[in-house]
Structure 1
Amino acid sequence: MKEFDMNQERKEPTTLFAIVSFLVIIAVLIIMINMGCNTTLSVFAGVIVSVITTRLLNIPWNEVERNIIKTAAECMPTFLIVIMVGMLVGIWMAGGTVPTLMYYGMQVVSPKILVPLAFVLCALTSEFTGTSFGSVATMGLAMVGIASTTSIPVPLVVGAVVSGAWLGDKMSPLSDTTNLASGVSKVPLYDHIHSMQYTTLPAAVVALVLFTIAGLYYSGGSMDLAQQKLIMDTLSKHFTINILLILPAILVILISVFKLPSLLGMGLAVVVSAIFAMVFQGVNFVDLMNYAFNGFSIETGVSIVDPMLNRGGVLSMSELLVTFMVASVMGAVIMSSGILDVLAKNVLLKFIKNRTVLVFVTLVYCYIVNFLTAGGQTVSIIVTEQTFESTYEDMNISRKVLSRTLEDSGTLSAPIVPWGVATIYVMGVLGCSTAYIPYAWFIFIVPVFSMICAITGIGVWDKEEKPVRK
């Protein structure tokens, strides 16, 4: 058999090749996941198809490897943060921080307002911390625990948590994606945030109304008082409940307010939380380190309580980390093939005739990149900005509109990609399935307002920052 020639002339992907390759990769992911295959292995199958694509185009393998290594290096800080979040959840469980939040939350939270409150509190937490992941692991975890005492479907509460967490992340000046979108678009940070208000705030109001109505409908305005008392009694029996135990959660917020580097800040939170756990709960150091790695484990004898508490640890993040690594490889290989550039230039850009179509195509392209890279927010924001930057310039539209659209789709779509890193994180931390995705209403509503602004000219400016009329 003729040996494969690694030095064959490189080919440029044709439009048909790019479309077919894109559809095949998506089809492989969707089919395998729907068949019940492991998410990580489904993404790995996507990597194989992507590699085949580069080989058919004779892309030099050393170029593909360089892109993989570069992407892995860029993702390393995120890997470390995810590891420390797993440690933090395990320590907070053992140390009584989350049980204390749940205990006091059950005393003051009415089921009539639980769902909208989960949305608002997670949004505020994420706004102050600049991290959706942190919001989900702290306030989100507590709200889901409280929800278990009501008749409200947990996926609905998780949908509210995710919506709030990504709302705050999107609008926070501390958020990495907010700074990334404004930075790559060359838009001052607060100009970018001001621009996002036109699509984000109306969507938040609509989502809040929907969550309020849904919460009232499902709760029936009642709480299972017997179950609530059982949970509270169980928590107080196995943990020292003290209001001071909320301080480690507040510390996470303060770390972001004072803009400590993420890795240093999370490390500090882990150390302080460990000290609180040893002082208030009397957990010895060795057991605490095991909880940080393996996750907290307890048998209270109450079946409804144990699943709330037995979670966290580095191991709980292992699937997320592996999926993240594999997804990063897939993204790097796809970028090496050049099929996304061809899709943009030869397909999407040809449909752009006016401002409305431009915004629509930008949204669609950002979604495409995010789904192809397993919820890779950073990649989708950077690639989409580079693809459409000149088009916004040519059509005399302010970069603020571009930067806003990047976040309306690139940032927000991450937790609704079924095989995505953010989705797996949410499922791992909150102990849920992808059933929450249809309830993440805020994420689906924002693009609607993106289009309304594009159609009406509200919140649209030209390059001289003058409002654009319809």
Structure 2
Amino acid sequence: MKKAPSPLVSLIPIIVLVGLLFATIRTFGSDALSGGSQVALLTTTAVSIFIGMVFYKIGWKDYELAIINNIAGVSTALIILLIIGALSGAWMVSGVVPTLIYYGVQVIHPSFFLASTCIICALVSIMTGSSWTTIATIGIALLGIGKAQGFADGWIAGAIISGAYFGDKISPLSDTTVLAASVTDTPLFRHIRYMLITTVPSLIITLIIFTVAGFSHDAGSTEHIAEFAASLAAKFNITPWLLVVPVATGLLIAKRVPSIITLFISTGLAGICAVLFQPNLLQEISGMQGSESIASIYKGLTMTLYGGTSLQTGNEALTELVATRGMAGMMNTVWLIICAMCFGGAMTASGMLGSITSVFVRFMKKTVSVVASTVCSGIFLNLATADQYISIILTGNMFRNIYEEKGYESRLLSRTIEDSVTVTSVLVPWNTCGMTQATILSVPTLVYLPYCFFNIISPLMSITIAAIGYKIVRRR
């Protein structure tokens, strides 16, 4: 057995990463994801590898294998991210999202908007089993409605993400829910039922906060909302027929069609609707407005799917909202995820992750300290590995035997993993979830973070319930 780095030595790459990211954000601001953050992650990866190879004689092959495994583990997520880029562009230019916004601003009252947004996203996420799909579809539409009603981006994104991650956490279709249950050998529905003890109170508190905030919000005059809706109707062909796309997407989800296939079909349907209902917009995008040829429509549709579009609406806020980035707009995020996986692989292969997390084990004596240590470890792994799937697997593997030796049920570990890892991943700017949602919503992670009340309350609720001891069985 090779000697593992000490916890203090293992913290060196983390300190370097935090310092580099701080400098990058201060220097590049909102452009930090365009290269600066990637360089910071690769530099920190090099630091971790250098320490391991020079001082602990860890071979390059070990690092290479760990990095390859990490990247392979997120390959499906990368494909989904690219399809989401195409889907968001197709849903926007086809008029699907504008139609949802057009009807939504007239139906959802501003006082209940934030709470309604959270509930809607929660229901959709439960049906889809995917926070990513929820945020990329209905989330974008709700963002537009919220902007029209005068809400700040952070509040809207916080409500969207809170609801989406509630559904993702308890849906039997969710890959993170299945993963947390399987890695701890807990029956899936036993795991879900046990999670309700901490998840439901967290959601109730969240909804109370959003309801109070909604009633405190000055939505401004209804003339502003009417003007926003009129601008949409003037630019897009608004018709109830476009609602066929989200309805069909919902049916595919109900049939449990795999996410990639569902997103692909939904994108295709939106593309057909764009050709049928918005041919003039496709010609505008193609730059061939004087032409009625099929070529101009084909070019506009293709550009919508792979590249960015900017449609002038006469309303600055609306013009910004309906702008799309397509698959090309996701490339910085894809690049960042790959770099993050390199860092996570280097930290794992060097033994630094195991060394740091071993510190938490020393404090595991009573129930509350066991749960608190697991929560802290899960959050730390989200920060260090930059991926919730890796964090779930590592946390489960590290603590499974400890929980068993101390006489705790496996469902306590699986619930604590979800309370700490699944919901906090989106709060980390360099985590795959944080990067993805910031990209999809065009709202920086640190802007929406203070308003993701469900995600913040969940780990605290997990520790609180452990302190109370409710429904926690310990074999003597």
- Answering whether residue 9 of structure 2 is matched by residue 17 of structure 1, we say yes
Deviation string, structure 1 residues 339-369 (Cα, Å, up to 9, x no partner): 1112223x21111111110100000001111
How many angstroms apart in 2 are the aligned matches of 1:151 and 1:266? 30
> What is the CA distance between 1:35 and its match in structure 2?
4.5
How many angstroms apart in 1 are the aligned matches of 2:197 and 2:15? 34
2:112 aligned partner, one-letter code: I
> What is the CA distance between 1:34 and its match in structure 2?
4.3
> What is the CA distance between 1:449 and its match in structure 2?
1.4
- Answering whether residue 330 of structure 2 is matched by residue 317 of structure 1, we say yes
> What is the CA distance between 1:418 and its match in structure 2?
2.1
Q: How does 1:48-63 map to 2 (within 5 A)?
A: 48-56=46-54, 57-63=56-62
Q: Which runs of 5+ in 2 are unaligned?
A: 283-296
TM-score by length of 1: 0.92
Q: 2:370 aligns with which of 358, 364, 369?
A: 358
CA-based RMSD of the aligned residues comes to 1.8
Q: Is the 8 A contact 1:137 1:429 kept in 2?
A: yes
> What is the CA distance between 1:250 and its match in structure 2?
2.7
- Answering whether residue 156 of structure 2 is matched by residue 157 of structure 1, we say yes
> 1:4 matched to which residue of 2?
none
> 1:224 matched to which residue of 2?
221
Q: Which runs of 5+ in 1 are unaligned?
A: 1-8
- Answering whether residue 429 of structure 2 is matched by residue 427 of structure 1, we say no
For residue 74 of structure 2, give the secondary structure of its aligned residue in structure 1. Answer: helix
How many angstroms apart in 2 are the aligned matches of 1:26 and 1:236? 46
For residue 161 of structure 1, give the secondary structure of its aligned residue in structure 2. Answer: helix
> 1:394 matched to which residue of 2?
405
> 1:301 matched to which residue of 2?
314
Deviation string, structure 1 residues 169-212 (Cα, Å, up to 9, x no partner): 11111111011101111111111111110110000000000011
Q: 1:261 aligns with which of 244, 258, 263?
A: 258
How many angstroms apart in 1 are the aligned matches of 2:270 and 2:189? 33
Q: How does 1:54-453 map to 2 (within 5 A)?
A: 54-56=52-54, 57-217=56-216, 219-220=217-218, 222-282=219-279, 283=282, 284-345=297-358, 347-374=359-386, 376-433=387-444, 434-453=446-465
Q: Structure 1 residues 310, 21: closer, same or farther in 2, change over 3 A?
A: closer
- Equivalent pairs, count: 452
How many angstroms apart in 1 are the aligned matches of 2:13 and 2:269? 49
2:254 aligned partner, one-letter code: V
How many angstroms apart in 1 are the aligned matches of 2:133 and 2:200? 22
Q: Structure 1 residues 344, 432: closer, same or farther in 2, change over 3 A?
A: closer
> What is the CA distance between 1:412 and its match in structure 2?
0.6
How many angstroms apart in 1 are the aligned matches of 2:430 and 2:214? 28
> What is the CA distance between 1:31 and its match in structure 2?
4.5
Moved more, 247-256 or 56-65: 247-256
> What is the CA distance between 1:321 and its match in structure 2?
0.7
Q: Is the 8 A contact 1:47 1:329 kept in 2?
A: yes
2:307 aligned partner, one-letter code: N
Work out the percentage of aligned pairs sharing the same amino acid: 30
2:121 aligned partner, one-letter code: C
- Answering whether residue 456 of structure 2 is matched by residue 456 of structure 1, we say no
TM-score by length of 2: 0.91
Q: Is the 8 A contact 1:86 1:292 kept in 2?
A: yes
Deviation string, structure 1 residues 284-332 (Cα, Å, up to 9, x no partner): 2321111011133211222121001002401221111111111111111
How many angstroms apart in 1 are the aligned matches of 2:223 and 2:236? 20
Moved more, 47-56 or 431-440: 47-56
Q: Is the 8 A contact 2:308 2:326 kept in 1?
A: yes
Deviation string, structure 1 residues 15-37 (Cα, Å, up to 9, x no partner): 43224444444444344434545
Q: Is the 8 A contact 1:136 1:165 kept in 2?
A: yes
For residue 115 of structure 1, give the secondary structure of its aligned residue in structure 2. Answer: helix
